[in-house]
A and B are shown apart, each in its own frame.
Chain A
Amino acid sequence: MNNIILGRYLEGNSVIHRMDARAKLILSFYFILIVFLCNNWQTYTLLAVFTFFCVLCSRIDVKYFIKGVRPLIGLILITVLLQLFFTSGGHVYWHWGIFQLTSFGIINAVYIFCRILLIVFMSTLLTATTTPLEIADGLEALMRPLRKLKVPVDEIALMISIALRFVPTLMDETQKIINAQRSRGVNFGEGNIIKQAKMLIPILIPLFVNSIKRAEDLAVAMEARGYQGGLNRTRYRLQKWHTVDTVAIIIFGGLTLLLLGLRG
């Protein structure tokens, strides 16, 4: 469980680490949009170079990003294979039944592969350079306009930050319960599917019971400290927009124009 790298924060002090979480969130979403603007090798090369540049800026080892792709490899392969064998059009190299290998298929498969890779790299970059709390604060700030539509933004933000805070705690606890049950003779990962599903009960029940207990305790502790709901609270962590953030947005604007120009 500890081997999941995607979505974990890595301490650092690079330009990207210091950027405002709001800017990073907006730009990451925006990046996913502009990935879909790419439709030829020039545009893909441009974006790949740009992504690589961002990774370099963060001063995080590239190996780390490549490792982050590993858990997704199955998903990527399936998508790529589907594209490869089921796309029609262009020159047909080989076909057998419903499968066919066409020049369009190959090109599409390569494009899809690049797309997923670029998106995974960029999202890893976001989570690796931004603490979960910053992300929660950033999301809250970005959702604030929704208040006018009666969306309970403060409550959602509170839920997100509490959830994020308890992810590592729950992971630790899960590991502890797994260890305790293994010591009592449970062999996880053995036997058929039904047997394996049954083995989850000794983990899930304690985990749920403990979560409910923890939620009760937390609610009482919050009330005792005067928490009364979302509105009219002041905040301790203030977000600050830097010049870097504006520059980053301008760079992304320029990138979009270039992409639009290079599109075939």
Chain B
Amino acid sequence: MGIEFKNVSYEYQADTPFAQKALNNISLKIEDGSFTAIVGHTGSGKSTLIQHLNGLLKPTLGKVIINNQQITNETKNKQLAELRKQVGILFQFSESQLFEETVLKDIAFAPKNFGKSTTEAEQIAKKAAEVVGLQQDLLERSPFELSGGQMRRVALAGILAMNPQILVLDEPIIGLDPIGKREVMSIFQKLNQELGMTIIIVTHNMDDVAQYADQVIALEHGNLIAHQSTSEFFNHPQWLYQHHLGLPKVAEFAQRLIKLGMQFNQLPLTTEELTNVLKNKLQRGDINE
């Protein structure tokens, strides 16, 4: 089980003058139930990588193995239906995928496509709407009447209604207000911790990576440059800056404290960690006014 990439390369428009290499010999393994963040510069191949996870793109070379199903260059689209049920992908600006007359119908669209009856699908849809925190009275409204944040939730509910084992998110909180961001991120955390859903998130926000993810995959120009646990990943600030990746705000602040002479056993990544360390130090009298 889990996800495995074996020497995967992908080239857009292969064999034309526009051919473009997007992924270069990527090998990695993502365990079931993990919370993985994919980071990297714009155009580093993150979005290409995640489209391999449910067979929207098939590797030009190498193979992808997801829940024991192999995807290679020769895999037929028909064989991928089962996989698409297991892997839900929420794309960037997912509110642009809504099309039905009512919110409920839109959320029920995916389960219906995967063979559920209309009534069953609508029951599932109602549950999914609850999970993402949509009020019941919105369900009969048109999705186009909603606010941007609500539309994003409807799109997310539409993916969750498939009841995927693996949830892939491409910058899910971009363009949301701070409260909406936190709420949506905590939904993902809950899904991961309570239902054991494997979560893969593409993001530029290192604070979120530090706070929520337990491992990080970094890409650069289509190459895999790091696949480590989050704490290991942020432990080499110099290396991060070299590759145009940053530190979480808390870690940056800690760096400044280090420059002023403070010592940490491990670079704190979240506000909680930092306050705990500082509290301990104060209690032990390591620092004074």
Q: Which residues of A contact B (CB under 8 A)?
A: 2-3, 5, 8, 10, 61, 64, 67, 173, 176-177, 179-187, 201-202, 205-206, 209-210
Contacts and interface: CB of A to CB of B under 8 A. Distances in A.
A64 to B, nearest CB: 6
Given A2-B13, A180-B94, A187 B99 contact: no
9 contacts: A3-B13, A8-B18, A176-B91, A180-B96, A183-B54, A183-B84, A184-B159, A185-B81, A205-B99
Contact of A210 (B81, B96, B113): B96
B91 A67 contact: no
B109 A202 contact: yes
Contact of A179 (B13, B51, B85, B98): B51
Contacts of A205: 99
A176 B96 contact: yes
A176 B171 CA distance: 14
B287 interface: no
Contacts of B158: 184
B283 interface: no
Contacts of B144: 209
A181 B78 CA distance: 15
B17 A179 contact: no
Contacts of B162: 184-185
A221 to B, nearest CB: 17
Contacts of B114: 185
Contacts of B54: 183
Nearest to A205: B99
Contact of B109 (A2, A179, A184, A210): A184
Nearest to B94: A180
A10 B17 contact: yes
A3 B113 CA distance: 28
Contact of A67 (B16, B87, B92, B113): B16
Contacts of A186: 113
Interface in B86-101: 87-89, 91-92, 94, 96-99
Contacts of B18: 2, 8
Contacts of A180: 89, 91, 94, 96-97
Contacts of B77: 187
Contacts of A173: 96
Contacts, number: 69
B56 interface: yes
Nearest to A11: B17
Nearest to A2: B13
B132 to A, nearest CB: 15
Interface in B1-26: 12-13, 16-18
A3 B16 contact: yes
Interface residues of B, number: 31
A8 to B, nearest CB: 8
A126 to B, nearest CB: 17
Contacts of B97: 177, 180-181, 184, 202, 206
Contacts of A61: 17
B242 to A, nearest CB: 31
Contacts of A210: 96
Given A184-B97, A187-B77, 10 more contacts: A177-B96, A177-B97, A179-B91, A180-B89, A180-B97, A183-B84, A184-B109, A185-B81, A202-B109, A209-B96
Interface string B29-55: 000000000000000000000010010
B110 interface: yes
Given A202-B99, A202-B109, A183 B13 contact: no
A64 B98 CA distance: 38
A62 to B, nearest CB: 12
A30 B160 CA distance: 58
A180 B113 CA distance: 13
Nearest to A8: B18
B174 to A, nearest CB: 14
B84 A182 contact: yes
Q: Which 3 A-B pairs have the closest CB atoms?
A: A185-B113, A180-B97, A205-B99
A201 to B, nearest CB: 7
Nearest to B164: A183
Nearest to B88: A183
A185 B99 contact: no
B53 to A, nearest CB: 10
B152 to A, nearest CB: 13
Interface in B55-103: 56, 77-78, 81, 84-85, 87-89, 91-92, 94, 96-99
Nearest to A61: B17
A169 to B, nearest CB: 12
Contacts of A202: 97, 99, 109
Contacts of B96: 173, 176-177, 180, 206, 209-210
B109 A182 contact: no
B84 A5 contact: no
Choose among B16, B78, B97, B162 the residue with the greatest number of A CB atoms under 10 Å from its CB.
Answer: B97
Contacts of B159: 183-184
